[in-house]
Structure 1
Amino acid sequence: MPRKADEYAVHIFFGGHQEEVRFTTIQEFQQWYSNHLIPKSQSDDFINVPIKNIQGEYMVIRPSSILAIRVEPIFFGSVERAVDQDE
């Protein structure tokens, strides 16, 4: 059975700078991406980026300055442990 991520870290890459925001579900990220970012992808106007893990703060970006986006699933309950074959 596939594991379900607890949240998703979205890394937004600009010229030589990177920012990370987190979304609780991949669908929430996809909705923001398709409804807010893609329609204005060539725009120099600012758009809001939702920051759910930092209370009272927000980030605005120019969509035309984004070079890449990386989405990383985060699993809170997973801890990798080395298995000792000698035991």
Structure 2
Amino acid sequence: MQLTEKAVLALKFDGKRRVVWDDGDLRFGVSIGKASRVYVVDYTFDGRRRRMTLGKTAEIKLEIARGLAGDALAEVR
């Protein structure tokens, strides 16, 4: 899904936690839970896949979260 501010606000909890990944970068997405939506980024470190929470969608803008994701990926490389 192409993540936009409007698309992120429209995402709804459907009974279990899920992640909606951005079409532009499959390592960046939004985790949707019962109480909140958070931006996440997946990365590999020491051969293991990890997920980092970047912040709540209600507290930071999408473009800032994308920047944080890029910074996080640059640090683990």
Indicate the structure whose relative CO is greater, using CA pairs within 8 Å and at least 6 residues apart.
1
TM-score normalised over the length of structure 1 = 0.30
Give the helix-richer structure, 1 or 2. Answer: 2
> Larger radius of gyration, structure 1 or 2?
1
Give the strand-richer structure, 1 or 2. Answer: 2
TM-score normalised over the length of structure 2 = 0.33
